[in-house]
Amino acid sequence: MWSAVQAGQRIHKYVLEQKLGEGGMAEVWRARHTELDKLVAIKRLSPRLSADPEFEQRFLMEGRRQARLRHPNIVPVIDCISEGSDKYLVMEYVEGESLEAALKLAGGPLPPQRAIYIAWEVAGALAHAHRQNLIHRDVKPANILLDREGRSYLADFGIALMLGDQRVTRGGVAVGTVHYMSP
- Output the DSSP codes for the chain: -PPP--TT-EETTEEEEEEEEE-SSEEEEEEEETTT--EEEEEEE-HHHHTSHHHHHHHHHHHHHHHH---TTBPPEEEEEEETTEEEEEEE---EEEHHHHHHHHTSPPPHHHHHHHHHHHHHHHHHHHHTTEE-----GGGEEEETTS-EEE---TT-EETTSPP-SPTT---S-GGGS--
pLDDT of residue 1: 47
Among candidate residues 24, 72, 68, 63, the one with its CA nearest the CA of residue 42: 63
pLDDT of residue 3: 62
Low-confidence ranges of the chain (pLDDT < 70): 1-3, 164-183
Residue 40 neighbours by CB distance under 10 Å: 19
pLDDT of residue 110: 96
pLDDT of residue 179: 53
CB-based contact 144:155 (threshold 8 Å): yes
Question: Which residue among 37, 52, 138, 156 is the active-site one?
Answer: 138
138: annotated active-site residue: yes
